[in-house]
Homo-oligomer: A and B are copies of this chain.
Amino acid sequence: MKIKVINPNTTQSMTRLIERSLFTYAVEIDLQVVSPSMGPASIESHYDEALSVPGLLAEIKSGLDWGADAFVVACFGDPGIEAAREISPVPVIGIAEGAFHVASLLGGKFSIVTTLARTIGRAEYLLHETGLGARCAGAHACDIAVLDLEKPESNALETIIEASRAALAADESHAVVLGCAGMAEYVDEVSAAIGAPVVDGVSAALLLAKTLVSLGLRPAKKGEQDFPPAKRYTGLLKDFAV
């Protein structure tokens, strides 16, 4: 089966990191991992998130041409997920959504450890939308900007481990959800260090997407999930007309 993973920011090094982190999980999967050709270098505000969506939607369209059986949106804010679902006849799963579902299936409660505090509001919205808010015992920021995760001087791994350990204790939770695709490569090390399950949304969403494809399930195209009505688009975005 073909699954396309879209990192909706434009930073290629992060896209490659995501691709490497999926290597062991891509069994029986023809995998594409890409960034859009337009938009923000990282997504750390509602402004960035809104402006990542045109590029994401373009990648969904080209993915459909490729014959994708499912998509993963690899940013923890699940940007544009509803618009992506409208134009796609195959499943689209966001990594926040994917992480919340997988962490919930473990039983007990989970804590989120994310990058900047200002992104927690979006995570809370997604917890509400998925219905899994009651399973989240707390959301905590590391105060590391997304693109600093890759920089050695940010001490990202240690900081995430420390924040995860503190979250487990403060929240009396049973698992940690990593709140950024850029943390995917740390999942095993953090889990080993804190002695608790750690969920990375990228691999979680990939295997959930594979599950839906294996089960032969595609979303019904009706009502709010139907293809968008055709119409004229103008100016810079004129090519987005459907």
Residues of A within 8 A of B (CB): 10, 25, 27-28, 36-42, 44-51, 53-55, 57, 80, 82-83, 85-87, 91-93, 97-98, 101-102, 104-108, 116-118, 120-121, 128, 130-135, 145, 172, 174-175, 188, 191, 196-197, 199, 203-204, 207-208, 210-212, 214-220, 222-226, 228-229, 231-238, 240, 242
Contacts and interface: CB of A to CB of B under 8 A. Distances in A.
A47 B219 contact: no
Nearest to A133: B131
A107 B225 contact: yes
Given A54-B54, A131-B134, A228 B108 contact: no
B105 A97 contact: yes
A209 to B, nearest CB: 8
B101 A39 contact: no
Residue among A82, A92, A224 with max Cβ neighbours from chain B (10 Å): A224
B224 A121 contact: yes
